[in-house]
Amino acid sequence: MVDANFREELARQREKVEDIYTYEGNKVGRGTYGHVYKAMLKNVPIGSENKAFALKLIEGQGFSMSACREVALLRELNHQNIIKLLRVFLTAEKRVWLLFDYAEHDLWHIIKFHRAAKQKSQRVMVPKGMVKSLLYQILEGINYLHDNWIMHRDLKPANILVMGEGTGIERGRVKIADMGFARVFHNPLKPLSELDPVVVTFWYRAPELLLCSKHYTKGIDIWAIGCIFAELLTSEPIFLCPEEDIKSQTPYHPAQLDKIFSVMGYPIETDWPDMRKMPGFKKLEDDFEKFVRDKKYQNSTLKRHMEKYRQSSGLVDYPLWNETFSLLEKMLTMDPLKRISAAEAKEHKYFKLDPTPTSDVFAGCKIPYPRREFLKDEPEDRNNGSKQQAPTLPVVAVPPTVPAHVHNPPTMEIPPAAKKLRQSMHPINIVGGTLTNNVNQQQQQQVFFNSFF
């Protein structure tokens, strides 16, 4: 039994988040599991720049299993494209705060910016050079995870952060965040499907997951990256399913499968021989028998789907379209055994042709995307533990209005620790220039968008 006086003395000596950082009123994310704040140091030496941090508050008291997994993995990981855990705070009230570097942008907000412009009939697509740099850095980070026997399992635009201005060499660098669903898969204690029957947001969920596969592979991350790639190219989710049911405890989701088949076509046995072995295949046959018989998906192909966007986006003459589509097609392959790996994708011809990927995805240009807006604290957000302390919930930089499609992870035993992790940081060519100061913001944005073509 720990002596009560010792516990009190320990609590007095423990550094408090509110004594070190100011964050009240700076909430930038609110989700199912917590709140994220933009935090600044209270005491900064004269002449030093005050760096921003992201403070993530874990829901409830103490460590949830999801938080334990995230902290355990993040403490072992060390890669320039994976968000770095800087510090963990445990308050006297048993509340847990995680401290990260602050990222001003994420792909959810970036794509939203371009989608809004598109809806106003302004042809402002995500620059193709920027798409290439974003995709390459995502693959770098995921390849590092896969090399170390870790699956992310919840890749989506909101979890792909991009560092903003004032971060030095980190400017424009991708940071893969939110490792709460990540798992070590080289020697799981149980089949992963038993531990987490529902993983990955529906729109980015691989078909083998939707068919209740008990033994899935790192290919589920590649499928999700392929979905993000398509979304960057078109500014629209490729498999947008309006009938999303966030309370579903079964992976089988016929509406989402229908959306995939409407884009890709219904897979035949030669496309995916093991599909018939999936636990959900019999239900799929029953539910889709009429659609297949009526040839609903006969004319559906990924190429035809993407060609529509190519025509409407003015990319008919885009010289790298064939290479772009080739890589996308290899990522969005129905059969997980035929799906390209992250290591193979990095070596694809798409990345070898100009413009080559840059370490700053903005290529030195002025960043046209707005900074994160601060969210208003709800009355219940003001915690009783401390003056500034907010309540439950986290997700590194979750967008304020991100669609509610995040799922509660079931509790489980903490997976075995990953073996010693290798750092795999490959240098990337830095290209692009800076903009002159004598042009207005609109002209600067146009220069930014044009500079990638």
Identify each DSSP E strand in 198-265 by its residue range: none
State residue 400's pLDDT score.
Answer: 36
Distance of CA 416 to the CA centre of its chain: 24
Q: Where are the domains of the chain?
A: 4-103+373-381, 105-371+416-450
Burial (CB count within 10 angstroms: exposed 0-12, middle 13-18, buried 19+), residue 190:
exposed
Which range has the worst mean pLDDT, 249-258, 346-355, 399-408?
Answer: 399-408
- Of 214 and 394, more confident: 214
Mean pLDDT of the chain: 81
State residue 414's pLDDT score.
Answer: 32
Span 403-431, mean pLDDT? 37
Contacts of 217 (CB under 8 A, 6+ apart): 185, 336
Residue percentage of the chain with pLDDT more than 90: 57
Span 112-131, mean pLDDT? 87
Question: Would you please indicate which residues are annotated as catalytic (active-site) residues?
Answer: 154
Which range has the worst mean pLDDT, 123-127, 193-197, 246-250?
Answer: 193-197
CB 224 within 8 A of CB 328: no
- Of 88 and 247, more confident: 88
Compute the C-alpha angle 261/342/182, nearest 5°.
85
User: What is residue 57's three-state secondary structure?
Assistant: strand
The whole-angstrom separation of Cα 178 and Cα 196 is: 16
State residue 405's pLDDT score.
Answer: 37
> Is 292's pLDDT higher than 90?
yes
State residue 188's pLDDT score.
Answer: 53
> Is 354's pLDDT higher than 90?
yes
- Of 262 and 192, more confident: 262
CATH topology of domain 105-371+416-450: Transferase(Phosphotransferase); domain 1 (1.10.510)
State residue 194's pLDDT score.
Answer: 52
- The tally of CA atoms less than 13 A away on the side-chain side of residue 37 is 26
Backbone angles phi, psi at 116, to 5 degrees: -65, -40
Q: What is the CA radius of gyration of the chain?
A: 23
The whole-angstrom separation of Cα 40 and Cα 53 is: 6
The tens digit of pLDDT for each residue in 16-52 reads: 999 999 999 999 987 657 789 999 999 988 878 889 9
> Is 226's pLDDT higher than 80?
yes
Residue of 160, 179, 169, 225 lying closest to 75 (CA atoms): 179
The tens digit of pLDDT for each residue in 250-270 reads: 789 999 999 999 999 999 999
State residue 99's pLDDT score.
Answer: 97
The whole-angstrom separation of Cα 38 and Cα 322 is: 41
> Is 404's pLDDT higher than 90?
no
- Of 289 and 420, more confident: 289
CB 134 within 8 A of CB 174: yes
Residue percentage of the chain with pLDDT more than 70: 77
Which secondary structure element, helix H or strand E, spans residue 307, and what is its range? helix 302-312
State residue 344's pLDDT score.
Answer: 99
Backbone angles phi, psi at 176, to 5 degrees: -80, 125
Beta bridge partners of 52: 40
Beta bridge partners of 35: 30, 57
Residue of 100, 14, 91, 63 lying closest to 387 (CA atoms): 91
- Of 427 and 351, more confident: 351
Pick 4-103+373-381's CATH classification: 3.40.50.10780, 3.30.200.20, 3.40.50.300, 1.10.8.590. 3.30.200.20
The tens digit of pLDDT for each residue in 319-336 reads: 899 999 999 999 999 999
Peptide bond into 355 cis (omega under 30): yes
> Is 385's pLDDT higher than 60?
no
List Cβ<8 Å contacts ≥24 apart for 63-67.
63/96, 64/411, 65/409, 65/411, 65/412, 65/413, 65/414, 66/33, 66/180, 66/181, 66/409, 67/96, 67/98, 67/180, 67/394
Backbone angles phi, psi at 399, to 5 degrees: -65, 145
b/e per residue, 286-319, with b = 16+ CB within 10 A?
Answer: eebeeeeeeebbeeeebeebbeebbeeeebeeee
Q: Is 56 annotated as a binding residue?
A: yes
> Is 146's pLDDT higher than 80?
yes
Compute the C-alpha angle 171/176/181, nearest 5°.
160
Query: What sign results for the dihedral spanned by CA atoms 368, 102, 355, 124?
Result: negative
Distance of CA 49 to the CA centre of its chain: 29
- Of 235 and 180, more confident: 235
User: Greatest CA separation found in the chain?
Assistant: 75
- Of 387 and 332, more confident: 332
Contacts of 15 (CB under 8 A, 6+ apart): 89
> Is 91's pLDDT higher than 80?
yes
Q: What is the 3-state secondary structure (H, E, C) of 107-161?
A: HHHHHHHHHHHHHCCCCCCCCHHHHHHHHHHHHHHHHHHHHCCEECCCCCHHHEE
Which secondary structure element, helix H or strand E, spans residue 96, and what is its range? strand 96-101
List Cβ<8 Å contacts ≥24 apart for 435-442.
435/365, 435/366, 441/366, 441/368
Token output for 305: 């789907």
> Is 409's pLDDT higher than 60?
no
Give the other-Cβ count within 10 Å of 284's Cβ.
22
State residue 387's pLDDT score.
Answer: 39
> Is 452's pLDDT higher than 50?
no
Residue of 155, 196, 247 lying closest to 411 (CA atoms): 196
